[in-house]
Every structure is written in structure tokens, then in C-alpha cells.
Chains A and B, each alone.
Chain A
């Protein structure tokens, strides 16, 4: 069965510092990969998705992710953290082109002033 692993349930960075949230997936076929963000007491919002057109994917709010097939990874980065980036981030995979999503455990990002 396919799975998604997010390393680190909590990540804390200073404002202006690099943000790196890790995601590894298990898949025997090219996956459909997504990053979602959840702000407090809200639903999930799409940050970006891997569409196979390019390995480096740019999303909203300055986030980007790089698909590395050899490492089965899809890590999320942002060069400079902003206080408004504090939220929970989920990596997800759509297995077998079914439309269903398998989520990682989530990573809470804390941004310190």
C-alpha cells in the first residue's frame, strides 16, 4: 500500500529563515503529489502539486517543492519564513489515479519573531 511520511511533526524557524518540510512517499508508479496547508480552525488549502511537467514546482505564498524520484521525496521549501506561514502542512499522494488522497501525519510550522 502506498504511504506518505513527513519527517518531523513540529518544525520551528525564525522569521526570515529557510523553511524545509520533508515528505517521502512510497510508490511503485509515478505518483500524483500534493502539499496542503491548514490554518487554525480552517479547512485545507492547496499549496502546490506535482504534475510531471517539471521537477521543481512553484506554489502559492512563495513555497516550492522539488520532486526527486531517486529519493522518493517531495520536500517543501520557502527561502524566507513569514509569521503568517505558521500553520499545519500536509503532504499527500493520490494513488493509482483514483482521486483519493493519502496524507502524511502533518507538520506544524512555528515561526518565531
Chain B
């Protein structure tokens, strides 16, 4: 079965360190997204990609970057981790726009100390 997986599931890092969260999907979807989930805010879009070598900033992109070198993967990098980036991160993919359903990974809980 096709799936979308995130790793690691949990991570603790120190302020100022660079951190990369992995996202891998086997749906063969062109569209991939990174969201962060914080209490009282729901999920907010960080970055997204519509295909290989395409990346775009979302609502809360400061301090984050992504790259898309193939269809399956969209890693999220925190350039210099800050305590404000402590959150749960979700990766998602979809086949298209409009009514297309987004499929979500299990999430990565990141704590910056």
C-alpha cells in the first residue's frame, strides 16, 4: 500500500543546531506540503512543492527551508533551531488541487531546548 512516512517521530535538539526532518511518500504525488501544529492554531503551512525542483513559502516559512530533488521526498530543514520552533510537524501529499485529498504522515514531535 502507498504511504507517507516521516522520520524521526520524536527529536530533541539544542537551540542553534541545524535539524532536518524527513518525509517520504510512495503515492507518486506531485504535491507535497509541510505543516506545523500548535495548540490554538490548528495546522499552518510552512513550505510546499508542486514537483521536482519546485519549492514555495507558506504562511510560516521563516527559519525553515525545503528542497525537492525527486518526487518521493521533501525534507524540511531548520537552519538554526529556536525554542519557538518546538512543535509537531506534519508532512502531506496530494495528487492535485481542488477536491484532491491530502494524505498525512504520522508527524514528528520536535523539542528545541
Q: Which residues of A contact B (CB under 8 A)?
A: 4, 6, 9, 32, 34, 36, 41-46, 49, 51, 90, 94, 97-106
Contacts and interface: CB of A to CB of B under 8 A. Distances in A.
Contacts of A99: 31, 33, 48, 50, 94, 96-98, 100, 102
Given A44-B104, A49-B101, A51-B99, 5 more contacts: A32-B98, A41-B106, A44-B43, A94-B97, A104-B42
Contacts of B40: 9, 105
A105 B41 contact: yes
A102 B41 CA distance: 11
B78 interface: no
Contacts of A41: 106-107
A49 to B, nearest CB: 6
A46 B95 CA distance: 14
Size class of the contact patch on chain B:
20 to 34
A41 B31 CA distance: 24
Given A9-B40, A103-B43, A106-B42, A97 B106 contact: no
B23 to A, nearest CB: 11
B97 A103 contact: no
Contacts of A34: 101-102
A98 B102 contact: no
A97 B98 CA distance: 4
Nearest to A42: B106
Contacts of B96: 99
The 10 closest A-B pairs by CB, nearest first: A43-B104, A103-B42, A99-B97, A44-B104, A103-B43, A97-B97, A105-B42, A99-B31, A97-B98, A43-B106
